[in-house]
Amino acid sequence: MNILLLGYGKMGKIIGEIAESRGHQIVGRINLENRDELETINPKEVDAIIEFSQPESAVENIKWGLDRGLPVVSGTTGWLSRKAEVEAMANTSEGAFFYASNFSIGVNIFFKVNTYLAKLMNEANEYKIAIEEIHHTEKKDAPSGTAITLAEGIIENISSKSTWDLSGQSADSERSIPITSKRIDPAPGTHIIQYSSDIDTIELIHTAHSRKGFALGAVLVAEWIKDKKGVFSMDDFLSF
């Protein structure tokens, strides 16, 4: 299939390498420096768009694809205040939109474990809950989209929590989950969920060793979404 890459930083380059190794053709590699080349792309020659750019570019990139009836797979974080707007556009277009805060199969298993643990901990009010995420220094948004997804999974299942905040910034610390964001090279991504009491501490940890897991997941989703229409997520893609 023919894939257009919108965003060609470190992640975009790995996605391109994996896509080509799986027999796909990259019809364009677009970033801020060559964005004018986007208008030379023939949409009829594109089967799917994989969009890993920057928060300030994501919505414009996604809309470009949806306007042309193309499926767009996006992993850019930091723009989600406009996600409902983009999903509404996808539902009325001839294209498709797939967003995930993390495309790693391992991380998505981690999401499921996080949700299950939160259900078990709902009545354990003696435990304080905190999340820590560590990424490379080139990651601009904080907290990470993965950390936000983890916090949302806890909030949905623990009745005493209703929001999250960057550590120390909440006006209602009793109902908020603090997230600590650290930027340390060359960390591709570590997420820690901690339940701590005077008696003991329970921790869930996921550590990525490279970006390859994220990139492979994005390519697999692009293969899956080809010819589909509508709005999709990892729950649609995964069978567990």
Residues noted as catalytic: 135, 139
- Residue 204 in 3-state DSSP? strand
Q: Alpha-carbon distance 150 to 132, whole Å? A: 10
- Strands ordered across the beta sheet of 128-135: 163-166, 176-183, 128-135, 190-196, 201-207
DSSP code for 185: T
Q: Give me the half-sphere count of Cα atoms (radius 13 Å) on the Cβ side of residue 213.
A: 14
DSSP 59-105: HHHHHHHHHTT-EEEE---S-GGGHHHHHHHHHHSSSEEEE-S---H
**Contact assessment for residue 157 and residue 118, using Cβ atoms and an 8 Å cutoff:** yes
